[in-house]
Amino acid sequence: MSRSELFRRHVAADPANALFRFSLGQALHAEGAAAEAVEHLRLAAASKADWMMPRILLGKCLLAVGDKAAAKAVFADALALAVAQGHEEPEEELRLLLATL
């Protein structure tokens, strides 16, 4: 069973669980299903205003499907969180990603 199949089952059992949504989005992203991951990562990001990781993955998925404007906005939001939370590596990655847009 793939990771996405496992987390699809978890999401089906508890659709409101943001961690399951994030994990499914993460698995889909890793499997190359960026378009499908977007919905789950949006829900995860919306569940917690200071949760940086789903925003980074959401931006990467949006970029993969060609929505540069949305990716830029999500990356900017994630960058603000990285700076506020003192996460130096994600901050550096996000600055590089934003520089390409």
Cα torsion angle, 4, 45, 65, 83, sign: negative
Structural domain containing residue 24: 3-99
> What's the number of domains the chain is made of?
1
What is the tens place of the pLDDT at every residue in 60-99?
999 999 999 999 999 999 999 999 999 999 999 999 999 9
What number of other Cβ atoms are within 10 A of residue 48's Cβ?
12
| Domain CATH number, residue 12 | 1.25.40.10
pLDDT at site 27: 97
- Give pairs for 76-81: CB < 8 Å, separation 24+: 78/52, 81/50, 81/51, 81/52, 81/55
Q: Model pTM?
A: 0.94
What is the tens place of the pLDDT at every residue in 4-56?
999 999 999 999 999 999 999 999 999 999 999 999 999 999 999 999 999 99
**Ramachandran category for residue 86: left, alpha or beta (phi over 0 → left; psi -120 to 50 → alpha):** left
Q: CA of 44: how far to CAs of 1, 31, 40, in Å?
A: 23, 18, 6
Q: What Rg value do the Cα atoms of the chain yield, rounded?
A: 13
